[in-house]
Amino acid sequence: MKYVNHFHFVALSLVVLTVFSGCSTLPDVSRVIDDTPSERESVRIASAKGLLSPQKSQAIMERLRRSVPPTDILERHNAVLESVTESPLTKGNKVKLLIDGRATYAAMFDAIRHAKANINLETFTIADDEAGRKFSNLLLEKRAEGVEVNLIYDSVGSHATPAAFFQRLRDGGVRLVEFNPVNPLKARGHWSPEHPDHRKLLIVDGRLAITGGINITSNYSIRVSGGRSTTGASLPWRDTDVQVEGPAVAEFQKLFLATWQKQQGAKLDDPSYFPGLKEVGNALVRVVGSTPGQNNRITFTVYVAAITFAERSIHLTNAYLIPDDQILDAFTAAAKRGVDVKIIVPANSDSTIAVDAARYNYSELLKAGVKIYERRNAILHAKTAVIDGVWSTVGSTNLDFWSLLSDDEVNAVILSREFAGEMERVFAADLAASDQIQWEKWKKRPLWQKIKQSFAHLFCHLM
């Protein structure tokens, strides 16, 4: 199945919807930062037993701060997030980096097979292909064993999946919610297909969560390699997820259940959704979810603030780099103050217009000292960042105007020197499989390319 994205299926309809619904705006993050207290006592941490005292929270942050060179990314960034979200920073989590579809699907299948009480799955795309059928068959098997299975799928992202695929799941006892149906006759209240659910999230028994950029489609079945691809061969998809166990899982569960309720799904009130959770690791994790509305674009605030507070390095990988002015300004300011800013973006994509739109911004970034690399021989779909060797994020948020402004998104923000080290090693591997964009060569590109990139940039911002 050809992957569905914003730029192809809904482009013209969303332009019309935007005209008639009015333009939304992103929050002014600089104002949020200015209004946030800078005192260290403002950072609070939750444990499996509840919120820690300011003194205990501060002691944990002090130990983490001593483990790395000085950086504002720890306390100041967390203080900003606490001003815009109710989701706490939690201690005692175990995190595992999952690279590409094979590893992620293996982890998801293993978690689902071991489910005892409930399985909650939320995805942008679930396809009627080999991968989608493996998932659906396993979900039906678990439902037949008495495990509750709830699935949220996006109407836009899964528009090519036939109704019979979902009906088979319903007939087997799986409860389904189609997020913001494209068909206005199926709308629940306000019809709003311009607000898709772009999250990818699996929660099993309220104890384990997996999130990131990977959809459920056989696109992820091809193995990724850094070598040259065979002429005419399909390119593999390069993506990243993270598996989380510990107190942070309850925050993922809250996001899923809130979406389910807002979409008027069947009542879900089983207490087993929130079991008693033990501390099983050493990572600090904050779960960040965004929903439509200026004050709810929290993943946008996460990125702008993180780039703003970086002191040594920003190593970012993103599938669709079509940012607004605030993110562009944050990148250029970071590079100009001496931060090592490296960004990996796709050379090939499921959307040609997205690649051209991203390239429109290269000149401004390169002139400021930002280093840009294009990943070759793969469809780069990952959305990750590691900053100052201690702050990391893995999630569904692209740095394009649509994802930042209108999608439901979810990211895990992880404070851990060890996990950041893993992230850096993956980034280095992607870097080795990428080609750097050189300013001297880039500024001499043909005029027709500049025109094409300008039109693509304008089109993407109109959507």
| Positions marked active-site | 198, 200, 205, 381, 383, 388
* Separation in Å, CA 390 to CA 44, 69, 91, 337: 18, 9, 15, 20
Distance, CA of 207 to CA of 114 (rounded, Å) = 11
Please, are residues 330 and 304 in contact by the beta-carbon 8 Å criterion?
Answer: yes
Where do runs of H (alpha helix) occur along 54-96?
A: 54-66, 75-84
Dihedral of CA atoms 371, 377, 378, 383 in degrees, nearest 10, equals -10
* Separation in Å, CA 441 to CA 53, 363, 436, 445: 55, 11, 11, 7
SS3 at position 73: coil
Distance, CA of 132 to CA of 52 (rounded, Å) = 42
Query: Which tokens sit at 175?
Result: 């409860």
Paired with 373 in beta bridges are: 344, 436
Distance, CA of 427 to CA of 189 (rounded, Å) = 44
Amino acid at 7: F
Angle at 403 between CA 242 and CA 42, to 5 degrees: 65
SS3 at position 446: coil
Give me the DSSP letters along 316-329. Answer: EEES--B--HHHHH
DSSP one-letter code for 169: H
Distance, CA of 219 to CA of 242 (rounded, Å) = 19
Distance, CA of 297 to CA of 285 (rounded, Å) = 19
